[in-house]
């Protein structure tokens, strides 16, 4: 029996085929095509990386001020010192006295004259030829050298099977018609060029990934993604879903009309518009897959409630899933208040529910007693079985990760039906992101705040003015208003975060003896958290000290001031979400961003942007440029690769080209679609349907 060989270092990186190696493109290049004498290198290398060579005349290990290897080389023109702060005995041996070495690095002024620190070193003969192309530097994991990757890539590029894999099969006529002004090479030529660019290549265009060779690769990758998304959109329209048109019986839409009557406000024009779009989707016989975007406090929940009412009017269940217990509970309390007077049984299901209560909730969900189900990700566990689910609403959907969608399929008689899906997000999706990752979704936007909502004034204040801020807070609370004090996010340690919250709570309790101060954080049990939040809502607590557990879902109209300490540690989206907790009542609202110095340039720009704008789309665009699509989509944690070669902001213009070509291929060249998807996505095609 043969034993299975452990994977090689290359295989662990996913480089297990000629195609995988061909698509493992360089992150940068080194120019080893030029060689300078040491004398010339000393003047050239002060401005850029430079290559020279010479004989080793000294090799010594020093121990002061720390252990280091010093090697001196010389040629006919000058001497140069090489310094290694981390080194192996093999390196010391490689550069033994008398060996001729070729070195490359930045020249700088050291204690004993000009030196290179940690240059690349190769033992060569004095007349060893120079490479004719730039030397690629590849993304690598620990324990695997550039030499191993370069050899593997060079070998892969010679493989006859790779020529077949990279063969040009996109119709030349179609490309010429849709891409007339782009003089791009074919795919095989583009990839070969990127691995082995000639010495006179435009290195700036290569590094910035704007070279025609890069453009061809980026276009092909985007094309695969767009085909996959458009096909998913088409497949969804072939699925069956129950149709929920507005009931036209004598009694009318009992629950939907009843909800509109019990609401203490009128819908805004934007809410009515998006509700008409969603209502139209619900009447279709294929499943809705719509993203409802709206800034914090724009009234997405009531639109979701109307969709749930429509579904329940037809005898089906509706489920609302939220990422945190606090947000899920807010939905539960709000919807219970709206629906229970209409005779609707609302179930509440979350992870830390006691076993007996969880069992009871699961029973009434399964037997259909519960018509509306609110919960956390506990709703997508195997132990939960719906009686007849017609609609799944997923709030803050990007927080669940790409694969955690509530896609329910069930049999009604002999027919297989899917439920309708409505995703909601208070973090606006930048247009480029929507075009690339949400191309199979229909998007509705609530772009109007309810009447009476006042703009939030944002102030940026140094932490050295903390006592002044607390004094202003005292004046604020004296007016009968409430406030939040948000403690910093410390990713490294939940314990440190809790400690900071407790310290702030104790300090503020001492500083504000006339007011009741509450504390809420992630380590509190659910019932304790709920009790603090209920007391805050009832104004029994005037100041709530909290960690980011209040980021979404808290609705206390009398709380119109928020202080965020160490605001420089928070991202755009988090501060925008936190800030949305105030401004929900009639009082003027203020958010104070308190920061500690020194500030990085990125933090400075972030705080300035947040002070100047409350436009969620502007903030989302800035967030995208800072964090990239993986984090915004909730895909980083899922382990699925995102676009590898495309920058959504730099290459936005390519997306529309890829969409046009994708549409034409799906209609006129269906035979080529599978080949293109297999080339670029392989097993990841399912991921893009999520």
Please state the rounded mean pLDDT for residues 190-210. 91
State how far the Cα of 410 lies from the Cα of 412, in Å rounded to an integer.
7
Contact 549, 487 (CB under 8 A): no
State how far the Cα of 45 lies from the Cα of 37, in Å rounded to an integer.
11
User: Taking all residues of the chain, what is their mean pLDDT, rounded to a whole number?
Assistant: 83
Please state the rounded mean pLDDT for residues 76-88. 91
pLDDT-derived band at 454, boundaries 50, 70, 90: confident
Which DSSP category does 615 fall into? -
> Which of 48-62, 363-377, 401-415, 512-526 bottoms out in mean pLDDT, i.e. has the lowest?
401-415
User: Hey, is 639 helix, strand or coil?
Assistant: coil
Domain boundary among the residues 583, 613, 643 is at 613
Residues 96 and 123 placed together within one structural domain of the fold: yes
Residues 388 and 291 placed together within one structural domain of the fold: yes
Residues 385 and 493 placed together within one structural domain of the fold: no
Residue 52 has pLDDT above 70, yes or no: yes
Q: What is the CATH number of the domain that holds 51?
A: 2.40.50.140
Residue 561 has pLDDT above 70, yes or no: yes
Residue 578 has pLDDT above 90, yes or no: no
Please state the rounded mean pLDDT for residues 246-262. 77
Residue position matching structure tokens 């019932």:
527
State how far the Cα of 235 lies from the Cα of 666, in Å rounded to an integer.
12
Q: What is the CATH number of the domain that holds 261?
A: 3.40.50.300
Domains contained in the chain, number:
3
Please state the rounded mean pLDDT for residues 640-664. 80
Residues 502 and 581 placed together within one structural domain of the fold: yes
- The whole model's pTM is what? 0.68
CA dihedral 41, 43, 48, 52 (to 10 degrees): 0
Summarised one tens digit per residue, pLDDT across range 9-34 is 888 888 888 998 999 999 988 888 88
**Is 429 a domain residue?**
yes
- Sheet order of strands, 79-84 included: 107-110, 113-117, 79-84, 68-74, 50-62, 100-105, 120-123
Which of 625 and 147 is assigned the larger pLDDT?
147
HEC-encoded secondary structure of 351-387:
CCCCHHHHHHHHHHHHCCCCCEEEECHHHHCCCCCCC
Residue span of the structural domain in which 45 resides:
34-130
> Which of 103-112, 131-140, 174-183, 235-244 bottoms out in mean pLDDT, i.e. has the lowest?
174-183
**Is 10 a domain residue?**
no
Give, in order, the Cα–Cα distances in Å from 28 to each of 461, 504, 525. 41, 47, 50
Summarised one tens digit per residue, pLDDT across range 125-157 is 999 998 888 889 998 876 788 888 999 999 999
Contact 506, 479 (CB under 8 A): no
Mean pLDDT: which of 344-348, 414-418, 425-429, 639-643 is highest?
344-348
Residue 287 has pLDDT above 60, yes or no: yes
Residue 302 has pLDDT above 90, yes or no: yes
pLDDT-derived band at 648, boundaries 50, 70, 90: confident
Residues 438 and 469 placed together within one structural domain of the fold: no
pLDDT-derived band at 548, boundaries 50, 70, 90: low
Q: Which pLDDT belongs to residue 200?
A: 86
pLDDT-derived band at 438, boundaries 50, 70, 90: low
Please state the rounded mean pLDDT for residues 173-178. 79
> Which of 3-7, 189-193, 330-334, 608-612 bottoms out in mean pLDDT, i.e. has the lowest?
3-7
**Is 396 a domain residue?**
yes
Residues 355 and 468 placed together within one structural domain of the fold: no
Please state the rounded mean pLDDT for residues 593-616. 83
Percentage of the residues of the chain whose pLDDT score is greater than 90:
32
**Is 503 a domain residue?**
yes
Give, in order, the Cα–Cα distances in Å from 258 to each of 206, 248, 254, 306, 343. 62, 15, 6, 10, 10
**Is 241 a domain residue?**
no
Q: Which pLDDT belongs to residue 249?
A: 56
Count, residues in the chain = 690
Respond yes or no on whether the N-terminal peptide bond of residue 18 is cis (omega within 30° of 0).
no
Domain boundary among the residues 383, 414, 446 is at 446
Residues 435 and 361 placed together within one structural domain of the fold: yes
> Which of 111-120, 215-224, 315-324, 582-591 bottoms out in mean pLDDT, i.e. has the lowest?
582-591
pLDDT-derived band at 686, boundaries 50, 70, 90: very low
pLDDT-derived band at 218, boundaries 50, 70, 90: very high
**Is 541 a domain residue?**
yes
The Cβ of residue 513 has, within 10 Å, a number of other Cβ atoms equal to 7
Q: Which pLDDT belongs to residue 215?
A: 93
Please state the rounded mean pLDDT for residues 441-466. 83
Q: Which pLDDT belongs to residue 305?
A: 95
Residues 589 and 540 placed together within one structural domain of the fold: yes
Q: Which pLDDT belongs to residue 687?
A: 39
Residues 550 and 469 placed together within one structural domain of the fold: yes
Residues 573 and 487 placed together within one structural domain of the fold: yes
> Which of 122-131, 177-186, 302-311, 531-540 bottoms out in mean pLDDT, i.e. has the lowest?
177-186
Q: Which pLDDT belongs to residue 683?
A: 45
**Is 265 a domain residue?**
yes
Q: Which pLDDT belongs to residue 306?
A: 96
Q: Give the residue from 291, 315, 285 showing the smallest Cα distance to 304.
A: 291
Please state the rounded mean pLDDT for residues 428-439. 67
State how far the Cα of 26 lies from the Cα of 191, in Å rounded to an integer.
10
Residue 496 has pLDDT above 60, yes or no: no
Residue 440 has pLDDT above 90, yes or no: no
Residues 266 and 339 placed together within one structural domain of the fold: yes
Q: Which pLDDT belongs to residue 638?
A: 37
Give, in order, the Cα–Cα distances in Å from 314 to each of 255, 259, 391. 10, 15, 11
Mean pLDDT: which of 40-49, 223-232, 437-446 is highest?
223-232
Mean pLDDT: which of 264-278, 611-625, 647-661, 670-684 is highest?
264-278
> Which of 32-36, 93-97, 266-270, 544-548 bottoms out in mean pLDDT, i.e. has the lowest?
544-548
CA dihedral 506, 510, 511, 513 (to 10 degrees): 130
Residue 631 has pLDDT above 80, yes or no: no
Which of 427 and 680 is assigned the larger pLDDT?
680
Q: Which pLDDT belongs to residue 689?
A: 42
Residue 494 has pLDDT above 70, yes or no: no
Residues 407 and 519 placed together within one structural domain of the fold: no
State how far the Cα of 536 lies from the Cα of 572, in Å rounded to an integer.
26
Q: Which pLDDT belongs to residue 252?
A: 56
Domain boundary among the residues 419, 446, 473 is at 446
Residue 383 has pLDDT above 60, yes or no: yes
**Is 249 a domain residue?**
no
The Cβ of residue 220 has, within 10 Å, a number of other Cβ atoms equal to 21
Q: Which pLDDT belongs to residue 49?
A: 83
Q: Which pLDDT belongs to residue 491?
A: 44
Q: Which pLDDT belongs to residue 495?
A: 52
pLDDT-derived band at 232, boundaries 50, 70, 90: confident
Q: Which pLDDT belongs to residue 435?
A: 66
């Amino acid at each position: 029996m043969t034993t299975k060989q452990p994977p090689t270092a290359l295989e662990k990186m996913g480089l297990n085929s000629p195609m995988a190696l061909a698509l493992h493109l360089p992150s940068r290049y080194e120019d080893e095509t030029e060689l300078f004498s040491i004398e010339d290198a000393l003047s050239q290398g002060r401005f850029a990386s430079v290559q020279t060579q010479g004989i080793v005349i000294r090799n010594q290990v020093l121990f002061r001020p720390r252990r280091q290897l010093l090697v001196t080389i010389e040629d006919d023109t000058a001497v140069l010192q090489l310094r290694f702060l981390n080194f192996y005995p093999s390196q010391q041996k490689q550069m033994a006295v008398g060996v001729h070495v070729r070195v490359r690095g930045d020249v700088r002024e050291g204690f004993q004259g000009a030196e290179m620190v940690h240059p690349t070193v190769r033992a060569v003969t004095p007349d060893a030829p120079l490479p004719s192309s730039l030397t690629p530097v590849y993304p690598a994991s620990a324990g695997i050298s550039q030499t191993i990757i370069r050899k593997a890539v060079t070998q892969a590029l010679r493989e006859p099977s790779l020529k077949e894999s990279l063969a040009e099969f996109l119709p030349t006529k179609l490309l010429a018609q849709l891409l007339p002004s782009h003089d791009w090479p074919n795919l095989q030529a583009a990839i070969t060029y990127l691995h082995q660019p000639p010495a006179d290549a435009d290195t700036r265009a290569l590094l910035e990934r704007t070279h025609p060779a890069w453009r061809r690769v980026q276009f092909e990758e985007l094309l695969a993604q767009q085909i996959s998304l458009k096909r998913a959109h088409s497949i969804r329209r072939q699925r069956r879903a129950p149709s929920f048109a507005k009931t036209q019986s004598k009694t009318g839409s009992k629950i939907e009309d009843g909800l509109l009557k019990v609401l203490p406000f009128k819908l805004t024009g934007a809410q009515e518009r998006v509700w008409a779009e969603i209502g139209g989707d619900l009447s279709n016989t294929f499943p809705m897959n719509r993203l409802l975007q709206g800034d914090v406090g724009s009234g997405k929940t009531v639109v979701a409630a109307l969709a749930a009412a429509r579904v329940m009017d037809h005898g089906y269940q509706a489920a609302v899933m939220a990422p945190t217990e606090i947000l899920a509970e807010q939905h539960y309390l709000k919807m219970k208040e709206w629906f229970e007077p209409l005779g609707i049984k609302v179930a509440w299901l979350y992870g830390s529910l006691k076993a007996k209560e969880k069992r009871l909730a699961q029973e009434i969900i399964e037997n259909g007693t519960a018509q509306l189900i609110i919960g956390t990700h506990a709703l997508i566990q195997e132990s939960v079985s719906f009686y007849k689910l017609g609609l799944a609403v997923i709030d803050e959907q990007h927080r669940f990760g790409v694969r955690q969608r509530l896609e329910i399929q069930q049999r009604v008689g002999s027919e297989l039906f899917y439920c309708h899906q409505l995703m909601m997000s208070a973090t606006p999706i930048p247009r480029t992101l929507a075009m690339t990752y949400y191309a199979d979704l229909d998007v509705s936007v609530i772009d109007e705040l309810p009447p009476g909502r006042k703009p939030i004034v944002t102030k940026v204040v140094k932490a050295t003015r903390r006592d002044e801020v607390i004094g202003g807070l005292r004046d604020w609370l004296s007016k009968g208003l409430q406030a939040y004090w948000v403690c910093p996010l410390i990713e490294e340690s939940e314990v440190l975060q809790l400690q900071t919250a407790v310290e702030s709570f104790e300090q503020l309790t001492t500083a504000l003896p006339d007011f009741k101060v509450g504390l809420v954080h992630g380590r509190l049990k659910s019932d304790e958290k709920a009790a603090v939040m209920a007391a805050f809502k009832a104004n029994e607590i005037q100041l709530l000290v909290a960690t980011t557990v209040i980021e979404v879902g808290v609705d206390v109209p009398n709380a119109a001031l928020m202080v965020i300490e160490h605001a420089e540690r928070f991202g755009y989206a988090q501060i925008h979400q936190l800030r949305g907790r105030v401004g929900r009542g009639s009082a003027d609202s203020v958010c104070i961003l308190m920061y500690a110095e020194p500030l990085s340039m990125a933090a400075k720009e972030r705080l300035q942007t947040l002070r100047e704008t409350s436009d969620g789309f502007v903030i989302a665009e800035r967030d995208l440029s800072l964090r990239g699509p993986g984090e915004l989509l909730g895909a980083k944690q899922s382990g699925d690769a995102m676009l590898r070669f495309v920058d959504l902001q730099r290459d936005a213009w390519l997306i529309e080209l890829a969409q046009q070509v994708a549409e034409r291929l799906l209609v006129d060249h269906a035979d080529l679609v599978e080949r293109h998807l297999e080339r670029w996505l392989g097993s990841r095609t399912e991921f893009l349907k999520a």
